[in-house]
Structure 1
Amino acid sequence: MDADMSQTFSFDVRFAKRFVHILAVMRNGRTLSVISYLLFVTVLYETAAYNIGMITGSYYKALGNKDSHEFWTQTIKAVVLIVIIAMLKSTKEYISSTVYIEWRRSLTARLLVHYFRDRRYYDLNVSSERRKDNLDQRLTQDVDLFCKQLSLIIADLIVWPFLIAFYTYKTWVVIGYIGPLGCLIFFLCSTAINKGLISLVLHFVYLQQRAEGDYRFQHTRVRNEAESIAIQRGAAFELHKTRHLFHRLLAIQERLILRELGLKSSVYMFDYLGSIVSFIILSVPVFGGKYDNLFAADLSQLISQSTFMIMYLINCFTRLIDTATTFTAVGGTTHRIGEALEWLNVGGGGDRTLKPADSDDDFRHSTQLSHVNILEDSGDHFRPLSRSSDSKMYCQFTNVTIKVPDSDRVLISRLSFSANSQTRLLIAGESGTAKTSILRVLRGVWRETSGSVERYVPFDEPKMVLFLSQKPLLTTGSLLEQISYPLIPRLNGRQLDDHQVEQIKHYIDLLDLNSLLDRVGHELTRPVDWNWSVCLSPGEQQRLCFVRLFYHRPVLAVLDESTSAVSLAMERRVYEELQKLDIAYVSCGHRQSLEEYHRQVLRVTESQNMLDAAVNEYTIDEIMR
Structure 2
Amino acid sequence: MGIIDNLVAKYFASVVGFLVVSIPFLSQNHLFTKTEQNERSRLYYTYGRMLVKLAEAIGRLVLAGRDLTRLAGFTSRVTELRTVLRDLNNGNYQRTMVAGAENLKPNGGKLIFKNNIIKFDRVPLVTPNGDILIPELTFEINSGMNVLVCGPNGAESSANYGLYSGGELTKPPRGKLFYIPQRPYMTLGSLRDQLTYPHSGAEASRRGATDHSLEEYLRRVQLEYLLEREGGLDAVEDWLDVLSGGEKQRIAMARLFYHQPQFAILDECTSAVSVDVEGSMYRYCRDVGITLLTVSHRKSLWQHHEYVLHLDGRGGYTFSPIESCTEQFGS
- Give the alignment's TM-score, normalised by structure 1: 0.35
- In the TM superposition, 1:384-395 aligns within 5 A as 384-385=113-114, 392-395=115-118
The change in CA–CA distance for 1:562 and 1:237 in structure 2 (over 3 A counts) is farther
Decide whether the 8 Å contact of 1:511 with 1:570 is kept in 2. Answer: yes
- 1:533 matched residue in structure 2: 240
The answer to whether the 8 Å contact 1:430/1:590 transfers is no
Is 1:427 matched up with 2:149?
yes
- What letter corresponds to residue 452 of structure 1 in structure 2? E
Structure 1 CA distance for aligned equivalents of residues 152 and 82 of structure 2: 43
* 1:9-32 CA-partner distances (Å, limit 9, x unpaired): xxxxxxxxxxxxxxxxxxxxxxxx
3-state SS of 1:466 partner? strand
Q: Secondary structure of the equivalent of 1:586?
A: strand
Which residue of 506, 520, 524 maps to 2:216?
A: 506
Structure number with higher relative contact order (C-alpha < 8 Å, ≥ 6 residues apart): 2
Q: Deviation digits for residues 479-522 of structure 1, max 9, x if unmatched?
A: 1111111123346xx97899621111111122121232124311
Given that 1:427 and 1:588 are in contact with CA atoms closer than 8 Å, whether structure 2 keeps it comes out as yes
Q: Deviations over 1:308-347 (max 9, x none)?
A: xxxxxxxxxxxxxxxxxxxxxxxxxxxx99985653469x
Distance 1:240 1:448, change over 3 A: farther
Q: Which has the higher helix share?
A: 1
Please list, as runs of the form range in 1=range in 2, the aligned pairs for 1:152-191 lying within 5 A after superposition.
none
Q: Is the 1:381–1:458 contact (alpha carbons within 8 Å) kept by the matching residues of 2?
A: no
Contact kept? 2:191, 2:235, Cα under 8 Å: yes
Deviation of 1:426 after TM superposition, in Å, equals 0.8
In structure 2, distance between residues paired with 1:405 and 1:476: 31
1:382 to 1:453, Cα distance in 2 relative to 1, 3 A: closer
SS at match of 2:195: helix
2:271 partner amino acid: S
Offset at residue 586 of structure 1 (A):
1.0
**Corresponding position: 1:398 with 2:110:** no
Change (3 A) 1:340 1:248: closer
Q: Which residue of 2 aligns with 1:458?
A: 173
- TM-aligned CA distance change 1:601 to 1:236, over 3 Å: farther
CA 1:242–1:600: 2 relative to 1, 3 Å:
same
Deviations 1:89-124 (A, max 9, x none): xxxxxxxxxxxxxxxxxxxxxxxxxxxxxxxxxxxx
| 1:265-314 deviations in Å (ceiling 9; x for gaps) | xxxxxxxxxxxxxxxxxxxxxxxxxxxxxxxxxxxxxxxxxxxxxxxxxx
* Alpha-carbon distance change, 534 to 344 in structure 1, aligned in 2, over 3 angstroms: farther
Tell me, which stretches of 5 or more residues in structure 2 are unaligned? 1-59, 75-80, 92-106, 325-331
Aligned to 1:242: 67
Matched, 1:516 2:226: yes
Change (3 A) 1:496 1:342: same
Q: Deviations over 1:359-403 (max 9, x none)?
A: xxxxxxxxxxxxxxxxxxx78996454xxxxxx543211122223
Is 2:279 the partner of 1:569? Answer: no
Aligned ranges 1:117-196 → 2 under 5 Å: none
Which of the residues 307, 316, 327 maps onto 1:617?
A: 316
How has the CA–CA distance of structure 1 residues 413 and 488 changed in structure 2, closer, same or farther, with 3 Å as cutoff?
A: same
Does residue 547 (structure 1) correspond to residue 254 (structure 2)? The answer is yes
Assess if the C-alpha contact under 8 Å between 1:600 and 1:620 holds in 2.
yes
Q: Write out per-residue CA displacement over residues 138-168 of structure 1, whole angstroms, 9 at most, x where no aligned residue.
A: xxxxxxxxxxxxxxxxxxxxxxxxxxxxxxx
Q: Any gaps of 5 or more consecutive residues in structure 1?
A: 1-234, 250-335, 347-377, 386-391, 442-446, 607-614
How far residue 556 of structure 1 moved from its aligned partner, in angstroms, is: 1.0
- Cα 1:556–1:500 shift into 2, 3 Å: same
Q: CA deviation at 1:587?
A: 0.9
- Matched AA of 1:526: A
Do the aligned partners of residues 604 and 339 (structure 1) sit closer, same or farther apart at CA in structure 2, a change above 3 Å counting? closer
In structure 2, do the counterparts of structure 1 residues 402 and 582 end up closer, same or farther at CA, with 3 Å as the change threshold? same
Aligned counterparts of 1:570 and 1:236: Cα–Cα separation in 2: 50
CA offsets 1:168-215 (integer angstroms, 9 cap, x no match) = xxxxxxxxxxxxxxxxxxxxxxxxxxxxxxxxxxxxxxxxxxxxxxxx
Describe the SS at the equivalent of 1:482.
helix
**Post-superposition shift, 1:407?**
4.5
The DSSP-based 3-state class of the residue aligned with 1:487 is: coil
What is the aligned partner in structure 2 of residue 487 from structure 1? 199
Alignment of 1:304-323 (within 5 A): none
In structure 1, how many angstroms separate the alpha carbons of the residues matched to 2:183 and 2:267?
Answer: 9
Q: How far apart are residue 405 of structure 1 and its match?
A: 3.0
Cα root mean square deviation, aligned: 3.6
- Where does 1:221-232 land on structure 2 (aligned, <5 Å)? none
Q: Is the counterpart of residue 448 in structure 1 residue 193 in structure 2?
A: no
Separation in structure 1 between the aligned mates of residue 73 and residue 136 of structure 2, nearest angstrom: 48
SS of the residue 2:308 aligns to:
strand
2:300 maps to a residue whose letter is S
Task: Please name the residue that 2:180 is paired with.
Answer: 468
Aligned to 1:624, what secondary structure does the other structure show? helix
- Residue 599 to residue 345, structure 1, CA distance change in 2 (3 Å): farther
SS at match of 1:527: coil
Distance 1:248 1:538 in 2: 28
Cα distance change of structure 1 residues 544 and 243 upon mapping to structure 2, 3 Å threshold: same
The one-letter amino acid of 1:475's match is T
Distance 1:439 1:541 in 2: 21
SS at match of 1:405: coil
1:310 is aligned to none
